[in-house]
Amino acid sequence: MALSYLDWAIVGVFVALTLIIGFSFTKKASQGLVQYFLGGRQMPWVVAGVSMVATTFAVDTPLSVTEIVHQDGISGNWVWWNMLLGGTLTTFLFARLWRRANILTEVEFITIRYHGKPAHYLRLFKSVYLGLFMNVAIMAWVNLAMVSLLEVFFQIPKETAILYTFGLGILIGLYSTLSGIWGVAVNDVVQFVVAMAGSIALAYFVVGSDQIGGIEGLKAQIDPGNLSFFPSLDTQNPYGLGVGIASFLAFVGFQWWASWYPGSEPGGGGYVAQRMMSTKTEQGAQLATLLFQFAHYCLRPWPWILVALAATVLYPGLNAENARMGYVMAMVDFLPNGWRGLMLAAFGAAYMSTISTHLNWGAGYLTNDLVLPLMKTRPNERQSIVISRGITMALVVAGSVATLYITSIKSVWGFVLECGAGLGLVLILRWYWWRINAWAEIVATLAPFATYTLCKLVLAKWDPAWGQDIMTNPRTFFTILLVTTLSWLITVWLTKPEPEAHLRAFYERVRPGGNWKPFSGRGTDWMNTALMLWLSAAILLYATLFGTGYLIFGFYDHRLAIALSVALVSTLAIWQLIKKETKG
């Protein structure tokens, strides 16, 4: 479609501002790897926290939510709402530890926790697995969402949209390569503000349109089951359809601690760990992560959900394969001049913030944990930066090529969740149980792939249910989780622990608490308070999430009263726990 001059002016100003910010940090980024990847560990916690949120706010997220709502209603969002439990766990039990570890990347953690050749090879493998394979897959699904937007927004063929996306990726790679994490993070703050403004504006124009007729008009045209925040066994209950109860139990009971997922890794990891490690203090790491959880789960979802619900009314011809297009079609049909340019800039902001982070984060793994450890002579800081920048641009190309082979965002989500099932518990326990060793993490990383292949390629031939995704039938997820957990537990029992001197050095460096009795006693007093803070914060954030939804939809009944009461009680509990922690 044709944009007005005002629209193009808004887009142009945003792109220029992004480049100016990025290039202004070039000199600082060239001072060394710690500056390039962690900002010299001097990043304000607000910047670090907003940067986390901006990274998870990609083009694919509102489009993916549209897919989910189209198929499973609001309750389908439990596929990612469940991760709030893991996010608040990271906030209170791991954020301080990541900052205290004083390492450059998450993968480098392997060398301070484990010892010997198993640790060496695990580090090399995970640098490729996370920094290249998973990172490229994530960038590819983000690219696919951007391609979908360009296809619908400008009415161009998919091939042309892919070329445009590749060109935009080169631009992002350029400023990410030159500016390092500072340019990425500061741009994230600007991009998040723009993206949120655009999302709220779109929801306002779409829901307020004559076709929808406001919130009451939307409610009147939507199946009541699709408005439920929770599933129900009773199909006659007007407040409970959507996602199946088995899938809901898989999400809430297991997925948040059992599955590895980018941005919601059990125990923290990836770019979340990178931001935590870039803050000035341990308290800053914790505050940044808490800000991330609030904005990610309480601030962002409802504008997306409102547009997604409206899209099911406005575009009834959409199916499971192209439902994500409903969000973009609403942008084209309902945004006036000026706002259309802002929304395009907002999507560009979401896209750029995510891709730039993944380029910097992935280059960190491939540089610090793959290339440099394999070199006989370690290069100086300037040479290391050159290597990092070359790898960054190579990742741009790899992500663009991978985009050609992805057809559904939701299917990649399911693949990542199931191929990480069972690994999460090891990622949590390696901090708090001295007996976890490198072999356990190796097995926990590889077992899900083997089991996934068996279920999807062999068992699915006899029973198609094995081939269904986690949203439809979590049978494969539970099988992978069980096999993986048993595999690494048996491995721990059959193999020797890490050397005592290495474990003692790790404990003295990080002081994690938990079951490190052979080295310094129990040390769990602070953990008791941290666990209570975790539960209280999780309850508060869920109450805030649902209470906001009840207010938006005008559900002024017992549901809103319960949400407000729970939020109040949990807030008081957090206040008392913080006072206790401060006195202690």
What DSSP assignment string belongs to 463-491?
Answer: -GGGGS-TTT-THHHHHHHHHHHHHHHHH
The 8-class DSSP code of residue 229 comes to S
Same structural domain, 327 and 444: no
Q: Would residue 512 count as lying in a domain?
A: no
Identify the bridge partners of residue 515 per DSSP, sorted by sequence position: 433
The number of C-alpha atoms within 13 Å of 137 and in the hemisphere containing its C-beta is 19
Residue 515 backbone dihedrals phi, psi, to 5 degrees: -85, 75
Same structural domain, 274 and 332: yes
Distance CA 191, CA 198 (A): 11
Same structural domain, 273 and 235: yes
Decide: 142 and 58 in contact? Cβ < 8 Å. Answer: yes
Identify the bridge partners of residue 279 per DSSP, sorted by sequence position: 43
In this prediction, residue 32 carries a pLDDT of 85
Q: Would residue 80 count as lying in a domain?
A: yes
Identify the bridge partners of residue 43 per DSSP, sorted by sequence position: 279
Strands, E, within 340-465: which ranges? none
Distance CA 191, CA 50 (A): 10
Q: Would residue 42 count as lying in a domain?
A: yes
- Output the domain CATH number for residue 148: 1.20.1730.10
Taking the CA atoms of residue 515, residue 517, residue 520 and residue 526 in that order, the dihedral angle to the nearest 10 degrees is 40
Same structural domain, 161 and 65: yes
Of 465, 500, 535, the last residue of a domain is 500
The number of C-alpha atoms within 13 Å of 16 and in the hemisphere containing its C-beta is 6
Q: For residue 216, what are its two tokens?
A: 């009451």
Identify the bridge partners of residue 421 per DSSP, sorted by sequence position: 259
Q: Would residue 206 count as lying in a domain?
A: yes
The 8-class DSSP code of residue 515 comes to B
Same structural domain, 19 and 67: yes
Q: Would residue 94 count as lying in a domain?
A: yes
In this prediction, residue 409 carries a pLDDT of 60
Alpha carbon 269 to chain centroid, angstroms: 10
Number of structural domains in the chain: 3
Same structural domain, 379 and 423: no
Q: Would residue 413 count as lying in a domain?
A: no
Tell me which residue of 84, 405, 430, 394 sits closest to 257, measured CA to CA.
Answer: 84
Q: Would residue 412 count as lying in a domain?
A: no
Alpha carbon separation from 562 to 238, 306, 537, 540, 542 (Å, rounded) = 19, 23, 16, 12, 12
Q: Would residue 506 count as lying in a domain?
A: no
Is residue 156 exposed (0-12), middle (13-18) or buried (19+ Cβ within 10 Å)? middle
Same structural domain, 481 and 566: no
Tell me which residue of 69, 76, 78, 79 sits closest to 304, measured CA to CA.
Answer: 69
One-letter identity of residue 172: I
Coil, strand or helix: which one is 421? strand
Residues shown for the chain: 584
Same structural domain, 486 and 360: no
pLDDT digits (tens, 9 = 90+) for 456-468: 888 888 888 787 7
Distance CA 556, CA 113 (A): 51
Q: For residue 66, what are its two tokens?
A: 């549209």
- Ordered per-residue pLDDT tens for the chain, 584 residues: 567 888 889 888 888 888 888 888 888 878 888 998 999 999 999 999 999 998 888 777 888 899 889 888 898 888 889 889 999 999 999 999 999 999 999 999 999 999 999 999 999 999 998 899 888 888 888 888 788 778 877 888 888 888 888 888 888 888 788 888 898 899 889 888 888 888 999 999 999 999 999 999 999 998 888 888 887 654 444 334 445 566 667 667 777 888 777 777 888 888 899 999 999 999 999 999 999 999 999 999 999 999 999 999 999 888 877 888 899 889 889 988 888 888 888 888 778 888 888 898 899 999 999 999 988 888 888 888 899 989 999 999 898 888 887 766 666 666 777 788 889 899 999 999 999 999 999 999 999 989 988 888 888 888 887 877 666 677 888 899 899 999 999 999 999 999 999 999 999 999 888 888 777 655 456 778 889 999 999 999 999 999 999 999 999 999 999 999 999 999 999 998 887 766 65
Alpha carbon separation from 291 to 87, 283, 287, 575 (Å, rounded) = 11, 12, 6, 17
Same structural domain, 251 and 392: yes
Decide: 438 and 116 in contact? Cβ < 8 Å. Answer: yes
Decide: 64 and 246 in contact? Cβ < 8 Å. Answer: no
Decide: 120 and 105 in contact? Cβ < 8 Å. Answer: no
In this prediction, residue 525 carries a pLDDT of 62
Identify the bridge partners of residue 259 per DSSP, sorted by sequence position: 421
Decide: 541 and 299 in contact? Cβ < 8 Å. Answer: no
Tell me which residue of 582, 575, 584, 579 sits closest to 537, measured CA to CA.
Answer: 575
Of 373, 407, 441, the last residue of a domain is 407
In this prediction, residue 325 carries a pLDDT of 84
Same structural domain, 106 and 204: yes
**Other beta carbons less than 10 A from residue 125's beta carbon:** 17
Distance CA 143, CA 409 (A): 10
Of 407, 433, 457, the last residue of a domain is 407
Alpha carbon separation from 535 to 58, 252, 381, 538 (Å, rounded) = 28, 14, 43, 5
In this prediction, residue 566 carries a pLDDT of 95
Alpha carbon separation from 247 to 80, 458, 469 (Å, rounded) = 12, 22, 10
pTM of the model: 0.88
Same structural domain, 319 and 386: yes
Q: Tell me the chain's radius of gyration from C-alpha atoms.
A: 23
Terminal Cα-to-Cα distance of the chain (whole angstroms): 62
pLDDT digits (tens, 9 = 90+) for 421-456: 889 899 999 999 999 999 999 999 999 989 988 888
Give the domain extent around 482: 419-500
Same structural domain, 77 and 18: yes
